[in-house]
Amino acid sequence: MTDAAPTATAPTSRKHLLLVGGGHAHLHVLHMLAQHRPSQLDITLLTPDDWQTYSGMVPGYVAGRYPLDACRISLQPLLRAAGVHWIQGRCTAIDAAQSEVTLQPTAGSDQALQHLRYDLLSLDTGAVFDPQRMAADMPGVLEHTLPVRPIDNFAERWQSVVDRQQTVHQPPRATTVAFIGAGAASVELLMAAHQRFSALQPRNAASERTQLVLVAGGGDVAAGYTPGVQRRVLRQLQRRQIQVVRQRCVGAQPGALKLEDGSLLPCDAAVLAVGTHAPRWLQGSGLALADTGHLRINHFQQSTSHPNVFAAGDVATRADAPHPKSGVYAVRAGPPLAHNLLAAASGQPLKAYQPPARTLNLLSCGTGHAILSWGPLHAEGAWAWWLKDRIDRAFVARYASAA
Ligand SMILES: Cc1cc2nc3c(=O)[nH]c(=O)nc-3n(C[C@H](O)[C@H](O)[C@H](O)COP(=O)(O)OP(=O)(O)OC[C@H]3O[C@@H](n4cnc5c(N)ncnc54)[C@H](O)[C@@H]3O)c2cc1C
- Atom number in ligand 1 closest to CA 62: 1
pLDDT the model gives residue 39: 86
pLDDT the model gives residue 107: 72
Q: Is the CB of 278 under 6 A from ligand 1?
A: no
Q: Is the CB of 314 under 6 A from ligand 1?
A: yes
Q: Is the CB of 327 under 6 A from ligand 1?
A: yes
Q: Report whether 270 contacts 180 (CB < 8 A).
A: yes
Distance (Å) of CA 70 to CA 133, 326, 332: 33, 21, 22
SS3 360: coil
Distance (Å) of CA 359 to CA 46, 356, 364: 30, 7, 16
Q: Is the CB of 304 under 6 A from ligand 1?
A: no
- How many other C-beta atoms lie within 10 A of the C-beta of residue 57? 23
**Pick from 185, 178, 182: nearest CA to 220:** 182
Burial bucket for residue 297 (CB in 10 Å: 0-12, 13-18, 19+): buried
- Atom number in ligand 1 closest to CA 49: 47
Give the CATH number of domain 15-128+277-357+394-400. Answer: 3.50.50.60
Positions of CATH 3.50.50.60 in the chain:
15-128+277-357+394-400, 131-272
Element housing 73 (H / E): strand 72-74
Taking the centre of ligand 1 as the mean of its atom positions, its distance from the CA of residue 299, in whole angstroms, is 21
Q: Is the CB of 325 under 6 A from ligand 1?
A: yes
CATH architecture for the domain at 131-272: 3-Layer(bba) Sandwich (3.50)
Q: Report whether 87 contacts 46 (CB < 8 A).
A: yes
- Atom number in ligand 1 closest to CA 327: 11
20, 24, 52, 55, best to mutate for ligand 1 pocket (most atoms within 8 Å of CB): 55
Q: Is the CB of 125 under 6 A from ligand 1?
A: yes
Which residues make beta-bridge pairs with 370? 364, 381
**Pick from 138, 61, 71: nearest CA to 392:** 71
User: pLDDT per position in the chain (403 positions), as tens?
Assistant: 343 344 434 445 789 999 999 999 999 999 999 998 888 899 999 999 999 999 999 999 999 999 999 999 999 999 999 999 999 999 999 999 999 999 987 776 666 668 999 999 999 999 999 999 999 999 999 999 999 999 999 999 999 998 887 776 665 677 899 999 999 999 999 999 999 999 887 767 666 778 999 999 989 999 889 999 999 999 999 999 999 999 999 999 999 999 999 999 999 999 999 999 999 999 999 999 999 999 999 999 999 999 999 999 999 999 999 999 999 999 999 999 999 999 999 999 999 999 999 999 999 999 999 999 999 999 999 999 999 999 999 999 998 875 5
